[in-house]
């Protein structure tokens, strides 16, 4: 069945609970009016990285906050409030091109179980077959948002195969990973990090309408010069 980006979900499906939070201390639950809407990652004491489409319909920075330093999206850790946010100037909500945003916070991301994740540099080659890890509080097999952080390992696709699978809708600012039936990112995971060897290389962006089908998820490629330059210019990271 052909899938179009306008039917993609703002989306861990088939993952497992995170037991050792030290590996995921960069992970954030992004909240709008106290409700979880997306994942995000700590990249600096006062900066978070997420997907631009997470702000569709959410235009007031003072309504955005993050729960940091907790495996549970409801309790624990600390609440950090947004001061302002910046979407990539060329973000396209129809095609998901340049689906990246950065958020400046009022308080610092500091304290127990909170630390920034290093970002990959410019033009790093994402080789097919590399394994990355995603994490989030997105819809699980049970069809609801879990309270406890989930994780999943995914394999990076060949770029040409990724483009073919998504009917030519993939550009160099994107890459594919995963695609095994029953294992996927899903609604609520958008904006979270894809990490390889402790370094963030991607942002969860989009996937097929039905989570867990044999279709790869699509990620923002942080190594792309256009994406990386935007992050660097805004945050100095």
Give alpha helix (H) positions in 104-175: 159-165
Which letter, b or e, does each residue of 141-160 get, where b requires 16 or more Cβ atoms within 10 Å of its Cβ? Answer: eeeebbeebbbbebebbebe
Per DSSP, helices labelled H in the chain are 159-165, 225-235
What b/e string do you get for 121-135 counting C-beta neighbours within 10 Å, with b at 16 or more?
eeeeebeeeeebbbb
Separation of alpha carbons 201 and 100, rounded Å: 13
Verify whether residue 53 is a known catalytic residue: yes
Sign of CA dihedral 51, 235, 117, 127: positive
Q: Is 203 helix (H, G, I), strand (E, B) or coil?
A: strand
Strand partners, 188: none
Out of 25, 29, 41, 53, pick the active-site residue: 53
44 assigned to active site = no
Q: Name the β-bridge partners of 193.
A: 203
User: 41 an active-site residue?
Assistant: no
CA distance 170 to 166: 7
Residue of 25, 65, 99, 140 marked active site: 99
**Taking a C-beta distance cutoff of 8 angstroms, is the pair 67, 232 a contact?**
no
Catalytic residue among 135, 140, 190, 205: 190
Residues catalogued as catalytic: 53, 99, 190
């Amino acid at each position: 069945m052909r899938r179009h980006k306008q039917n993609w979900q703002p989306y861990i499906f088939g993952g497992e609970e995170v037991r050792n939070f030290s590996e995921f201390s960069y992970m954030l639950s992004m909240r709008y009016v106290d409700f979880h809407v997306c994942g995000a990652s700590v990249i600096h004491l006062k900066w978070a990285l997420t997907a631009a489409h997470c702000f569709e319909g959410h235009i007031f920075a003072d309504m955005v906050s993050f729960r940091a330093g907790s495996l549970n999206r409801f309790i624990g850790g600390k609440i950090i409030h947004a001061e302002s946010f910046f979407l990539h100037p060329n973000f396209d909500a129809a095609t998901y091109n340049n689906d990246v945003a950065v958020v400046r916070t009022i308080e610092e991301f500091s304290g127990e179980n909170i630390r920034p994740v290093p970002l990959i540099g410019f033009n790093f080659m994402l080789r097919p077959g590399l394994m990355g890890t995603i994490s989030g509080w997105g819809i699980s097999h049970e069809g609801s948002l879990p309270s406890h952080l989930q994780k999943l390992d995914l394999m990076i696709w060949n770029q040409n195969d990724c483009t073919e699978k998504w009917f030519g809708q993939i550009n160099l600012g994107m890459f594919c990973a995963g695609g095994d039936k029953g294992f996927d990112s899903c609604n609520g995971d958008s904006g979270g990090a894809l990490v390889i060897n402790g370094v963030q290389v991607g942002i969860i962006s989009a996937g097929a309408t039905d989570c867990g089908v044999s279709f790869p998820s699509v990620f923002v490629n942080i190594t792309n010069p256009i994406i990386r330059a935007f992050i660097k210019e805004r945050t100095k990271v």
